[in-house]
Structures are given as structure tokens and as C-alpha cells.
Amino acid sequence: MDFELTEQQRLFRDGVRAFVEKEVAPFAALWDREHRFPVELMPKLGAAGLLAVQSPESTGGTGAGPIEYSLAITELARACASTSVTVAVTNLCSDVIRKFGNDAQKQRFIPRLASGEAVAGSFCLSEPHCGSDAAALRTHARRDGGDYIINGSKNWITNGGHAGVYIVMATVNRELGPKGICAFIVEKRTPGLITGKEERKMGLRASNTVSLAFEDMRVPAENLLGREGDGFRIALASLDGGRIGVASQSVGIAEAAQAAAIRYARDRKAFGEPIANFQAIQWMIADNQVDIETSRFLALRAAWLSANGKPFSREAAMAKVAASEAANRVVNRAVQIHGGYGYIGEFPVERYFRDAKVTTIYEGSSEIQRIVISREVIQGSRA
């Protein structure tokens, strides 16, 4: 792997950074305080090419690859982790349709996601009784002529209150286990699609998270992705890419916390000199940088493998667990460097601290990542 970005990748990253500094960073703290999903930002994100980064231009996407996607999520998370997860899940939906949809589905749905016309996308897998054990989902789909009738519920659905396009996992036969699971494209305002209350979260407060209920929701059979029984395979493949997104988000949060800690350490004086001169502070900043650089390389390695068509499930899991746990260490040190000021909302590290925690939980908890990694290592399928 070449550790240097190409000129095109650097230009892409710099373009995202400029957009973020203008359209996202100035408002992130306000959105967080108000628990407000910034609907007005979504068309701007679409125009900037950030809602379907890996989809081809023929369907309205940007036509870039996994490395550019990783860079984009990192830049967004440096300013606003909430926006980064909104964008990541919308990209997840466009990627699912890009990889597994037929031509008609691609032409119908990806342009709406890419432009922001659909506002956002939602990936609906977790249920109240099962998160990590996705194969145990109970949401049921029954074929009825040219439609499927879906009943059930979903939990922790990012963008669920605003999305125009949902990817919904449901089983046609619970006795078949994973082999009975299907993936459906569901549009907003479909009769029987009921949005529950918005969750009031510790962090990511400007990201919308809701529960969903499906009551005799009728979905056209033409909205089935792939064939019956393909849903579990689609979900697992999608989660691998999603873990690169969370690793990249974690890098961005950690970078923001490190920058804030350095600024504060230079400005804050104690005993007549900046606290940046004290070894205790210097060592925390050094440890932060080691964590950040390690996480960045792991995330970009997984993205590079994906871009080159190589297996990357293990590497995505390694990047996700390492970067998410590193981000939590970094923000904890950043708060410590700020002292009491790190504990109040007037300083951004308080927000970074809250935002970082969930990265060890969603898209597969740290415990699940360790299961994925250990299975591949023990089986010895690759060196």
C-alpha cells in the first residue's frame, strides 16, 4: 500500500475541508445545543458530492472510491460528528443500491439520495430485541401478489425521521434464519410506515435517531434488492463498509479534540508559563498523536483494500475497534488537559467527549469487532 494520497485524493480532501469550514463548522455547536437535524444542509451536502461518494456519475454520484469516502467522513467529523454520521448512513444506503440494486433501482433512487432530494437515507436492521444478533430479527415480510406486506419494528434508526429512502431488512421465514432475510427499498410516506419518538442522546445530538414501526406496510416487489434470502449477505457486506466510516469518523473526532487541546495548552498559563511546557501535558498530547496516526492508517488501509477489490472484513473491524477506542482515549485526555473548562459546554471538547462514546457501540460494538477479528485470525485464512 502506498501511504501517500494521490493528487486527486488530496484535492478532494481539501475541497471537502473548505466546504466543511464554511457550511458545517460554524453551526455545529448550535445544532448540538438545539438537538436540531440541519435539514437545510442536506442539499448543500448533495451539491458538494458528499451523499453518494462512491456511486457513479451516471446515477448522480461523485464517482470516487472508498479512500475518498474515508477522507470525507474524517473531514466532516472534525467539525461535526453528527453531520458525519448523517452523511455516512446516507452513503451506506446509496452504496447498498449501487452494489445490489438492478438498473431501474439505481436510476430511480441513487440520484435522489445523491442530490439531497431524499434528504437522507436510513439503514434499518437493528430491532428492540436484537442489535448485534442481526440474524434474529423478527420483522416479517409476506408476498401478496405484486407486493410484500411488512410488519415489525426497528430501533436506533439514524436519519429515520427525515429519510426519503429506507433500506429495510425483513424475513420471509423466521425458521430459515439468515437465509430467510430480505432487503427492501422503502420510500417515505409509504402507508404503514410509522415513525416513533426521536431519541434524546448523550451525543450526536444533531443526528436524528428514531424507532420505526411497520403496520401492514405494502412495498412493491420491484423494490426487493436482489433475491429473497439475499438480505443477510447484503447487510453483512454493507456493515464492512460502514465500519470504515465509523473508523474515519473516530479519526475526525480525535483530530478535533487534539487540536482543541493544543490550542488550550498553548494559551492556558499556570505557575507563570503555558501548560504546554509541562511534561505531563506534553505526554498526553504525544499519546494522542500516536492514537490518531495509528487509527488513520488502519482506516485508510481498510479503504485501500476495498478500493482494490481485496478482502477487507478483518481490516475494517480492526480499524473500527482501534479507532473508536482511540478516539475515546484522545477526547478523555483532551478534557483532562482543559481541566474544569473541559467539563462545560462553552468548550468544544465537552461535545467531542459525548460524541465519541457511541463509536464503540454502533455499526457493531467493540466486542463484536473482536469476535470478527479473532475468528479470521484463528482460522488463519490470511497472513
20 touches 29 (CB < 8 A): no
Catalytic residue among 23, 127, 363, 367: 363
CB 164 within 8 A of CB 111: no
* CB-neighbour burial class of residue 135 (10 A; exposed 0-12, middle 13-18, buried 19+): middle
Q: Residue 87 domain-assigned?
A: yes
* CATH code, 114: 1.10.540.10
Round the average pLDDT of the chain to a whole number and report it: 96
On whether both 147 and 89 belong to a single domain, the answer is: no
pLDDT for residue 1:
61
pLDDT value for 129: 85
Q: What is the pLDDT of residue 151?
A: 98
Compute the distance between CA of residue 125 and CA of residue 114 in angstroms, rounded to an integer: 22
How far is the C-alpha of 49 from the C-alpha of 114, rounded, in Å?
7
| Count of structural domains, the chain | 3
| 107 and 57 part of one domain | yes
pTM comes to 0.96
Question: Is residue 352 located within the same domain as residue 267?
Answer: yes
340 shares a domain with 269: yes
Same domain, 155 and 214: yes
* Domain assignment of residue 83, yes or no: yes
Choose the final residue of a domain: 228, 260, 283.
228
User: Given this model, what pLDDT does residue 380 score?
Assistant: 77
- The CATH number for 246's domain is 1.20.140.10
Kindly state whether residues 11 and 57 are assigned to the same domain. yes
State yes or no: is 215 an active-site residue. no
* DSSP notation for 88-106: HHHHHHHHHHHHH--HHHH
State which of 180, 213, 228 marks the end of a domain. Answer: 228
Domain stop point among 120, 150, 170: 120
Give Cβ neighbours of residue 18 (< 8 Å, ≥ 6 apart): none
Instruction: Using a pLDDT cut of 90, give the percent of the chain over it.
Output: 95
Same domain, 41 and 71: yes
Residue 382 has a pLDDT of: 58
Flag whether 1 is in a domain. no
Claim to verify: residue 91 and residue 170 sit in the same structural domain: no
pLDDT at 381: 57
DSSP result, 281-340? HHHHHHHHHHHHHHHHHHHHHHHHHHHTT---HHHHHHHHHHHHHHHHHHHHHHHHHHGG
Residues 59 and 167 occupy one common structural domain: no
Is there a domain that residue 2 lies in?
no
Are 318 and 205 members of one domain? no
CATH number at residue 215: 2.40.110.10
Nearest to 324 by CA among 371, 370, 356: 356
Q: Could you give the CA distance from residue 53 to residue 242 in angstroms, rounded to a whole number?
A: 13
Q: Which residue has the cell 438545539?
A: 34
Q: Which domain holds residue 250?
A: 232-379
| pLDDT beneath 70, residues of the chain | 1-2, 381-383
Do residues 251 and 329 both lie within one domain? yes
Residue-level pLDDT at 72: 98
111 with 11, same domain: the answer is: yes
